[in-house]
Chains A and B, each alone.
Chain A
Amino acid sequence: MEKQLAVKDLRVRYETADGVVEALNGVSLSLEKGKSLGLVGETGAGKTTLAKSIMRLIHTPPGNILAGEILFEGQNLLALPIEKMREVRGNEISMVFQDPMTALNPVMPVGQQIAEVIAVHEKVSKVEAMEKAGEMLEMVGLEARRAGEYPHQFSGGMKQRVVIAIALACNPKLLIADEPTTALDVTIQAQVLDMMLNLRKQLGTSLLLITHDLGVVAQNCDEVAIIYAGEIVEHGELREIFHDFRHPYTEGLFGSIPSLTQKADRLNPIKGLMPDPSDLPAGCKFHPRCKYAKAVCGNAIPGTYDVGGGHTVQCHRYGSKEYESEG
């Protein structure tokens, strides 16, 4: 199958007066056309940085993309001139932002905010763009007559529907959703998510879904990538990861959610905290919290090992000779 998106060895850091934050340290992942990939990780693991890098929305300064490639249908987005990139944004790749409260312009009617993206990418008149914006509102379950209203007149869930309408207005090939439901009430989350996924299926859009919620991934994704401290530690098909996870961090993640089938008196959260991204440990970033850690884990960055069927793990336990010889 054809690759829609391939990120190769992406390195991003933020340089501020208070220090250098290593946000992404050689991230590689790929997504096939029409499929959906769940990117799972804790706050601060670099999920949003990855999403913004793909859209080329990293603010410089303080952000800096140091190395790597982001191939979209074979074309390196990082090498595109900005005018070409603008044609990609909103048209071929769209993004749904984390917080609908701040993602909409407070002084512009929502209809116009949708119409803008249509007007810039499609050869239509202003009136047609506004009409289409109304259709988009209906599509996400809002009334078209509310197009003239301002964001503050909508609830959080409705605002996120507007954001989704903006993202899908030009029928993009790839949708990046950065924790699209985190800021919403629990009761609204499922509604918004279902709607987004239905639309995606209708339109045949590929999806990069960023979340910290494994449950959301289980319902919606074909593949899963686990990100920890700016590195993809495990990547594979949904079933593979859920039933045969290999990385100690993934193991920890599953240990910290309650299971319906197994009785447990206590959950097993991962010990310790994610390292400060401005002061990362040497070797494997996870080794200070890892119960399997050996000396080599603190010295060498582990390679990425294929454990079968495209399931990859970045961990010394799955192929490092030093690890095995340490006993």
Chain B
Amino acid sequence: MYKYVLKRLLMMIPVLLGVTFLVYFILALSPGDPVRMILGEQASEESVQMLREELGLNDPIPVRYVRYLGGLLQGDLGTSYKNQLPVAPQVLERFPNTLILAMSGMLVALLVGTPLGILSAKKQYTLLDNATTVLGLVGVAMPTFWLGLLLVLLFSLHLGWFPSSGMGEGIGPLLKSLVLPAATLGTSCTASVMRMTRSSMLEVLRQDYIDTARAKGLKEGYITLHHMLKNALVPIVTVAGLQFGMLLGGSALTETIFSWPGLGRFMVDSIKSKDMPMVLGSAVFLAVVYSVVNLLVDILYAYIDPRIKSQYKK
């Protein structure tokens, strides 16, 4: 198992390099001169040139990327154009808030989506199945930001149950302020997990080994959990992993709606103020986190399905 994890870790290195390069490359291409932004339009050509040299902006992009990477390895993500402070601490400060939000969304998805998917598969073609299928379709199609606005309209403005923005201090207020953003972020994820659980369970339901399990005289609930769900889990985990990435990415929208002090909103604000090092730092950080999540999912596969592990032994 350690060997497998090590192998996956090694395989992640080129992916991380590629992802960081891609993000760096895209953002380095951006038009507009950062130096002019810092110094203002009235600055003399001479001082502009000096700062360009100082910031290393005259070097070709690959050289700049290698330099950036060197900094990245030491935890240095550059300096903000806007407030002249190092980017890394500012990113790290906001990331936990995003993580809390994304994990709550995921939790909602797993706690609601998986049981509904199982039930729906086991009671195929019943009213319950039809109802969850419709809910699943709507949930997947629902635009996150609109759902967020609707929830605010209903639950904070109309009913006044939950706050419409901000992040509460202390456990109680925090949880209260988390409900609407987590529901917003988690809905499409819940729907995806539910749909995948259903189709994956339907697949497993017809397998011979389920008949074997029944022929042993095992209870239906035990069979569902130990024989069906465990076999259906790989595609479910895949979707959950993918969705976690969507949650991190989608956090930009949810955080904007609920004024949640996370990395997504921070990135969007930085884009609007054209603070490229901040955008770059946030994007690179999110990309790296996403890659790590993918790695964890891959490792999880091996735990769930022994056949995958033995494939890697070869």
User: Using a CB–CB distance below 8 Å, which chain A residues touch chain B?
Assistant: 52, 55, 57, 59, 86-91, 94-95, 97, 99, 102-108, 116-117, 120-121, 150, 152-153, 163, 166
Q: What are the nearest 7 A-B pairs in CB distance?
A: A89-B217, A90-B216, A90-B217, A102-B208, A117-B216, A150-B306, A86-B217
- B231 interface neighbour in A90, A107, A117, Cβ under 8 Å: A107
Do B209 and A103 have beta carbons less than 8 Å apart? yes
CA distance A94 to B304 in the complex (A): 29
Q: What are 21 A-B pairs at a CB distance below 8 A?
A: A57-B211, A57-B214, A87-B217, A89-B214, A89-B217, A97-B208, A97-B211, A102-B209, A103-B208, A103-B211, A103-B212, A104-B209, A104-B212, A105-B209, A106-B305, A106-B307, A107-B305, A107-B306, A116-B218, A120-B216, A166-B216
Do B211 and A52 have beta carbons less than 8 Å apart? yes
Do A152 and B307 have beta carbons less than 8 Å apart? yes
- A153 interface neighbour in B215, B216, B231, B310, Cβ under 8 Å: B310
B158 beta carbon closer than 8 Å to chain A: no
> B216 contacts which chain A residues (CB < 8 A)?
89-90, 116-117, 120, 166
Do B211 and A99 have beta carbons less than 8 Å apart? no
Q: Which of A57, A103, A163 has the largest count of B CB atoms less than 10 A from its CB?
A: A103
Q: What is the distance, in angstroms, from A264's C-beta to the closest C-beta of chain B?
A: 39
- B207 interface neighbour in A102, A108, A117, Cβ under 8 Å: A102
B230 beta carbon closer than 8 Å to chain A: yes
Do B217 and A99 have beta carbons less than 8 Å apart? no
Q: Which residue of B lies closest to A82 (CB)?
A: B220
Task: A90-B217, A166-B212 given; name 4 further pairs at CB < 8 Å.
Answer: A86-B218, A86-B219, A90-B215, A117-B216
- A108 interface neighbour in B208, B214, B226, B310, Cβ under 8 Å: B226
> B211 contacts which chain A residues (CB < 8 A)?
52, 57, 97, 103
Q: Which residue of B lies closest to A59 (CB)?
A: B206
Annotate B273-314 by CB proximity to A: 1 below 8 A, 0 otherwise: 000000000000000000000000000000011110010000
Q: Which residue of B lies closest to A152 (CB)?
A: B307
> A94 contacts which chain B residues (CB < 8 A)?
215
Q: Which residue of A lies closest to B218 (CB)?
A: A120
> A117 contacts which chain B residues (CB < 8 A)?
216-218
Q: Which of B206, B212, B305 has the largest count of A CB atoms less than 10 A from its CB?
A: B212
CA distance A182 to B68 in the complex (A): 64
CA distance A89 to B215 in the complex (A): 5
Q: What is the distance, in angstroms, from A124's C-beta to the closest C-beta of chain B?
A: 15
CA distance A9 to B99 in the complex (A): 64
B64 beta carbon closer than 8 Å to chain A: no
> A95 contacts which chain B residues (CB < 8 A)?
215
> B227 contacts which chain A residues (CB < 8 A)?
105, 108
> B23 contacts which chain A residues (CB < 8 A)?
none
Annotate B123-160 by CB proximity to A: 1 below 8 A, 0 otherwise: 00000000000000000000000000000000000000
With known contacts A89-B216, A91-B217, A152-B310, A107–B208 Cβ distance under 8 A: no
B213 beta carbon closer than 8 Å to chain A: yes
> A86 contacts which chain B residues (CB < 8 A)?
217-219
Q: Which of B208, B227, B231, B304 has the largest count of A CB atoms less than 10 A from its CB?
A: B208
CA distance A150 to B206 in the complex (A): 21
Q: Which residue of A lies closest to B303 (CB)?
A: A107
> A120 contacts which chain B residues (CB < 8 A)?
216-219
CA distance A86 to B214 in the complex (A): 8
CA distance A94 to B216 in the complex (A): 7
Q: What is the distance, in angstroms, from B126's C-beta to the closest C-beta of chain A?
A: 12
CA distance A88 to B216 in the complex (A): 9
Q: Which residue of A lies closest to B211 (CB)?
A: A57
CA distance A3 to B307 in the complex (A): 45
Q: Which residue of A lies closest to B219 (CB)?
A: A86
Do B217 and A106 have beta carbons less than 8 Å apart? no
Do B217 and A88 have beta carbons less than 8 Å apart? yes
Do B212 and A150 have beta carbons less than 8 Å apart? no
Q: Which residue of B lies closest to A94 (CB)?
A: B215
> A108 contacts which chain B residues (CB < 8 A)?
226-227, 230
Do B212 and A97 have beta carbons less than 8 Å apart? yes
With known contacts A52-B211, A102-B207, A166-B212, A107–B217 Cβ distance under 8 A: no
Q: Which residue of A lies closest to B306 (CB)?
A: A150
CA distance A153 to B314 in the complex (A): 13
CA distance A95 to B213 in the complex (A): 11
Do A163 and B217 have beta carbons less than 8 Å apart? no
> A89 contacts which chain B residues (CB < 8 A)?
214-217
Q: What is the distance, in angstroms, from A37's C-beta to the closest C-beta of chain B?
A: 19
CB contact list, B209-243 vs A, under 8 A: 209, 211-219, 226-227, 230-231
Q: What is the distance, in angstroms, from B302's C-beta to the closest C-beta of chain A?
A: 11
Q: What is the distance, in angstroms, from A312's C-beta to the closest C-beta of chain B?
A: 30
Do A107 and B212 have beta carbons less than 8 Å apart? no
Annotate B187-221 by CB proximity to A: 1 below 8 A, 0 otherwise: 00000000000000000001111011111111100
CA distance A185 to B306 in the complex (A): 25
CA distance A90 to B306 in the complex (A): 26
Q: What is the distance, in angstroms, from A226's C-beta to the closest C-beta of chain B?
A: 25
> A106 contacts which chain B residues (CB < 8 A)?
209, 231, 305-307
Q: What is the distance, in angstroms, from B228's C-beta to the closest C-beta of chain A?
A: 9
Q: What is the distance, in angstroms, from B67's C-beta to the closest C-beta of chain A?
A: 48
> A105 contacts which chain B residues (CB < 8 A)?
209, 212-213, 227, 230-231
Q: Which residue of B lies closest to A163 (CB)?
A: B212
Q: What is the distance, in angstroms, from B308's C-beta to the closest C-beta of chain A?
A: 10
CA distance A54 to B305 in the complex (A): 33
Q: Which residue of B lies closest to A83 (CB)?
A: B219
CA distance A193 to B138 in the complex (A): 55
Q: Which of A90, A153, A163 has the largest count of B CB atoms less than 10 A from its CB?
A: A90
